[in-house]
């Protein structure tokens, strides 16, 4: 039995509250304990309270962590990432700086397809080593759980390869990765003339193997003009649902294709992006309790100015989630603090709404709300200490994550 | 005599070139040495070249630094910062997230005036301690020189106090701070009814003491509606020039007030911000060789969308500089890598133009172009190693400075 007591938090941001995602004004309620502390046994939180009380009641053999009047938060849960890939896309980054659009680059063989070529060519070990670097970045930014998508393989073998890498990473890094099958991320070059055949491949070859080998908890799809239309998306997602996978969608990013409404029709767990979703999509998601996963990093990185309508979604009672969309092309940031800055400055979310969206709401979107996303008795002792006195500084000062240290199940994982 | 050899840089980004600021297409010429190395003697660069050559010719007693196939750049020069202040402005950050504008917050006693109240109340030691935290942030982001403004004192005693703090910091941190007197940052509350009297105070009491005590190299002013108009700015800057100070201006940030044209008239070294500067201002600056200092962090942080016209300025042959504008309110970032990201994604500057703007061009804007801003024989051995293989990754991956280590005059200063 190992006991750990965290003392002297200027703010212990607990997110304590009802055992469900937070909506509307609840998103501003962070359950902050001033001068707070935390007691952990065998990686699980057993108590939160005033630092003095925690110190007094801690077992004699407890190890003490002095938070030094800093801010303590639950580890961030990043509910939309693409952390496994080979190569980079700095050439395209420069092309965009020189004026090319994301769509133009994709049409000329760049974008997702460029990463697919490099990822197919890479060995599992190369992919693991590179992803381990990304895992260290996530931890350095205070993130302890990420949803991790495949989608740069786009063949049976390469999609399975990516999902095996995600599985293996869980043993190699303290970061928890939640696997999502995204075979329908793009139509690969060899099927460019016959997208329907590729949809068949996804449904009849990839999905059965992914499910049989238990390599994914979720199925995602890029429902977008030039990628997968509504009908194709519906077929793939229905097939995934039949195999017991939870559904997530890349929805309404580049055009308002009706994907948010499809997400509601299929009772998807999340619809992600939503830059162009209008009132009807928001209403449909509200009725079906689909959680929106907003990804302002990709709007920013693509030099666009239309951000998703976060205020409208919060106003409509949606349990909004924020995530990085970490990937080498359209959103090259692993930093939830950066996303909190974007949410506040570009989408007018309060810092508290941002924190709720990137912790407890994100945890529920991954079916981990009972275990992660808040600092409450019975939950995993995943937490991050930030070098500031007010949690709002994490969103205010941008470009430099103010992470002091990070713990997963009561063990310090950053600095390593 | 101490010798240091830096070996195995995947890219040694030298910025070698003519001994003057870079303009037009020159801004894309970084003088990159692949598999490069660097020889340093007593803190000064004595040679750059192929890593193998450097290794072979290094003195036997040289200390070796293995860059490990990472990218090596000159330390960034951040030519516009406000690093000395007390308190923070997270309340206003939240107000802006809730929809208030910067101008509304300033009109209700917030903004600069709020930081002035806290800075006046703080002791020199408190200000030094807080600024030392900011100095560590700058170094962590790869910045080794910052221009540092006063301007949160706004009384004779408090402006002198701030400039003494800047002077003392130079002895306390390896970061080099270049002092700028910004008494005319705002009209303080006690002079709100009589701005002309405050202008008198700046000219007849502050400036003589600042100059006599040799506490500043530059004089800056916030030339803006509601702050200091063109006539007031002209009087103050002429008085500063007469006392031997170089001139810099906060120009055309919130309105196009003609401040860029004033900068040209007075042969100011820089005009900063320039969000609203039009063709006539750009042409005037070109004729007078005024360097524009662009501060995209403040556009971003204030949630605005009109960035300065970087492409027009580069096209007109201006020697563009990029800086953070680090301050607690309108640009809370110490990160030049973040500014390079903003420059590429929001202002369509190439990563190379960004690097030039934040190194050699910035150094010239502070009269340090012969000593800083490039890796060439005879210059200070101030350099940063970034954990990537291509310098463009520094601008591409945002929210997390990829700094591996930082050296000032050949001594490692980060990690400390």
Residue B152 has what pLDDT? 97
Q: Rounded to a whole number, what is the distance in Å from the CA of A309 to chain B's nearest CA?
A: 14
Do residues A409 and A355 share a domain? Answer: no
Residue A109 has what pLDDT? 83
Cβ contact, residue pair B400, A300, below 8 Å: no
* pLDDT < 70 stretches in chain B: none
Cβ contact, residue pair B93, A395, below 8 Å: yes
Give B275-286 as a DSSP string. TT--HHHHHHHH
Q: Which residues of A386-399 are buried (b: 16+ CB within 10 A; e: fewer)?
A: bbbebbbbbbbbbb
Identify the residue among B97, B326, B354, B387 best suited for mutation to test binding to A, counting A beta carbons within 10 A and taking the highest. B97
The pLDDT-based confidence of A214 (bands split at 50, 70, 90) is very high
Asked if A400 reaches chain B (Cβ–Cβ under 8 Å), the answer is yes
Residue B256 has what pLDDT? 94
Do residues B162 and B208 share a domain? Answer: yes
Residue B7, by phi and psi: left (phi above 0), alpha (psi -120 to 50) or beta?
beta
Q: Are B233 and B249 in contact (CB under 8 A)?
A: yes
Cβ contact, residue pair B98, A351, below 8 Å: no
CB-CB neighbors (< 8 A) of B141 in chain A: 399-400
Pick the residue from chain B with its C-alpha nearest to A354: B97
Do residues A344 and A397 share a domain? Answer: no
A384-404 tens-digit pLDDT: 999 999 999 999 999 999 999
Asked if B88 reaches chain A (Cβ–Cβ under 8 Å), the answer is yes
* Nearest CB to A97 within list B137, B350, B401: B350
Give B199-248 as a DSSP string. HHHIIIIIHHHHHHTT--SEEEEEESTTSB-HHHHHHHHHHHHHTT-EEE
Identify the residue among A396, A401, A404 best suited for mutation to test binding to B, counting B beta carbons within 10 A and taking the highest. A396
What range defines the domain where residue A40 resides?
Answer: 3-74+374-414
Residue A2 has what pLDDT? 93
Q: Are A398 and A341 in contact (CB under 8 A)?
A: yes
Do residues A39 and A89 share a domain? Answer: no
Q: What is the mean pLDDT of residues A214-238?
A: 96
Do residues B251 and B294 share a domain? Answer: yes
Residue A318 has what pLDDT? 98
- Residue indicated by tokens 């803006």: B224
The vertex-B25 CA angle with B22 and B29, nearest 5°, equals: 70
Cβ contact, residue pair B97, A346, below 8 Å: no
Asked if A333 reaches chain B (Cβ–Cβ under 8 Å), the answer is yes
Residue B305 has what pLDDT? 93
Cβ contact, residue pair A399, B141, below 8 Å: yes
Asked if B137 reaches chain A (Cβ–Cβ under 8 Å), the answer is yes
CATH number of domain containing B162: 3.20.20.140
Pick the residue from chain B with its C-alpha nearest to A327: B397
Q: Are B149 and B180 in contact (CB under 8 A)?
A: yes
A60-82 tens-digit pLDDT: 999 999 999 999 999 999 999 99
Average pLDDT value for chain A? 97
Residue A133 has what pLDDT? 97
Cβ contact, residue pair A98, B350, below 8 Å: yes
Q: Rounded to a whole number, what is the distance in Å from the CA of A62 to chain B's nearest CA?
A: 31
Q: What is the mean pLDDT of residues A286-309?
A: 97
Pick the residue from chain B with its C-alpha nearest to A95: B350
Q: What is the mean pLDDT of residues A153-163?
A: 98
The structural domain count of chain A equals 2
Closest C-alpha to B412, from B9, B36, B67, B37 = B67
Identify the residue among B98, B396, B416 best suited for mutation to test binding to A, counting A beta carbons within 10 A and taking the highest. B396
Do residues A180 and A222 share a domain? Answer: yes
Residue A234, by phi and psi: left (phi above 0), alpha (psi -120 to 50) or beta?
alpha
Residue A1 has what pLDDT? 80
Cα A64 from Cα B37, distance rounded (Å): 45
Do residues B10 and B48 share a domain? Answer: yes
Asked if B305 reaches chain A (Cβ–Cβ under 8 Å), the answer is yes
* Nearest CB to B344 within list A97, A140, A341: A97
Do residues A61 and A117 share a domain? Answer: no
Pick the residue from chain B with its C-alpha nearest to A300: B345
Do residues B24 and B60 share a domain? Answer: yes
CB-CB neighbors (< 8 A) of B333 in chain A: 397-400
A336-366 tens-digit pLDDT: 999 999 999 999 999 999 999 999 999 999 9
List all residues 6 or more positions away from B92 whose beta carbon is below 8 Å from its beta carbon. Answer: B100, B105, B110, B111, B114, B329
Average pLDDT value for chain B? 97
CB-CB neighbors (< 8 A) of A399 in chain B: 141, 297, 333-335, 337-339, 398-399, 401
Cα A199 from Cα A222, distance rounded (Å): 12
Count interface pairs A-B at CB distance under 8 A.
Answer: 132
A230-262 tens-digit pLDDT: 999 999 999 999 999 999 999 999 999 999 999
Do residues B403 and B268 share a domain? Answer: no
Asked if A142 reaches chain B (Cβ–Cβ under 8 Å), the answer is no
Residue B66 has what pLDDT? 98
Do residues B273 and B385 share a domain? Answer: no
Return the number of other C-beta atoms located less than 10 Å from residue B180's C-beta: 26
Pick the residue from chain B with its C-alpha nearest to A351: B94
Residue B260 has what pLDDT? 98
* Nearest CB to A398 within list B97, B305, B333: B333
Do residues B326 and B300 share a domain? Answer: yes
Asked if B25 reaches chain A (Cβ–Cβ under 8 Å), the answer is no
CATH number of domain containing A19: 2.30.40.10
Asked if A99 reaches chain B (Cβ–Cβ under 8 Å), the answer is yes
Asked if B398 reaches chain A (Cβ–Cβ under 8 Å), the answer is yes
Cβ contact, residue pair B351, A96, below 8 Å: no
Q: What is the mean pLDDT of residues A42-50?
A: 98
Residue A110 has what pLDDT? 87
CB-CB neighbors (< 8 A) of A401 in chain B: 399-400
Q: Rounded to a whole number, what is the distance in Å from the CA of A334 to chain B's nearest CA?
A: 7
């Amino acid at each position: 039995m190992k006991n750990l007591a965290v003392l002297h938090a200027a703010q212990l941001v607990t997110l304590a509250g009802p055992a469900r995602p937070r909506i509307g004004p609840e998103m501003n309620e962070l359950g902050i304990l001033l001068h707070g502390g935390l007691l952990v046994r065998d990686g699980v939180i057993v108590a939160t309270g005033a630092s003095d009380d925690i110190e007094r009641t801690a077992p004699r053999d407890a190890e003490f962590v002095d938070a030094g009047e800093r801010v303590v938060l639950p580890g961030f849960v990043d509910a939309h990432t693409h952390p496994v890939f080979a190569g980079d896309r700095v050439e395209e980054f420069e092309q965009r700086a020189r004026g090319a659009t994301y769509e133009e680059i994709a049409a000329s063989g760049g974008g997702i397809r460029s990463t697919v070529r490099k990822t197919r060519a890479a060995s599992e070990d190369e992919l693991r080593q590179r992803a381990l670097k990304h895992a260290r970045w996530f931890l350095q930014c205070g993130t302890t759980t990420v949803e991790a998508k495949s989608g740069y393989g786009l063949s049976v073998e390469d999609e399975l390869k990516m999902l095996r890498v995600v599985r293996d990473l869980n043993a190699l890094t303290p970061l928890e990765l939640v696997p999502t099958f995204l075979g329908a991320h793009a139509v690969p070059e060899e099927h460019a003339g016959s997208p329907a055949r590729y949809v068949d491949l996804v449904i009849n070859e990839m999905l059965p193997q992914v499910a049989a080998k238990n390599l994914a908890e979720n199925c995602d799809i890029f429902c977008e003009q030039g990628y997968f239309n509504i009908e194709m998306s519906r077929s793939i997602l229905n097939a995934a649902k039949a195999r017991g996978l939870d559904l997530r969608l890349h929805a309404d990013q580049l055009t308002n294709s009706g994907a948010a409404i499809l997400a509601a029709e299929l009772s998807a767990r999340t619809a992600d992006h939503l830059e162009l979703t209008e009132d009807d999509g928001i209403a449909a998601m509200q009725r079906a309790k689909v959680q929106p996963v907003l990804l302002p990093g990709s709007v920013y990185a693509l030099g666009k100015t239309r951000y998703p309508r976060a205020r409208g979604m919060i106003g409509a009672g949606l349990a909004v989630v924020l995530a990085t969309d970490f990937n080498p092309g359209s959103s090259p940031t692993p930093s939830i603090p950066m996303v909190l800055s974007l949410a506040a400055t570009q989408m007018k979310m309060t810092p508290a709404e941002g924190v709720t969206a990137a912790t407890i709401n994100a945890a529920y979107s991954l079916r981990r709300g009972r275990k992660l996303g808040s600092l409450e008795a019975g939950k995993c002792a995943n937490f991050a200490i930030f070098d500031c006195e007010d949690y709002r500084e994490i969103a205010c000062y941008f470009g430099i994550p103010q992470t002091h240290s990070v713990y997963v199940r009561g063990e310090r994982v950053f600095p390593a």
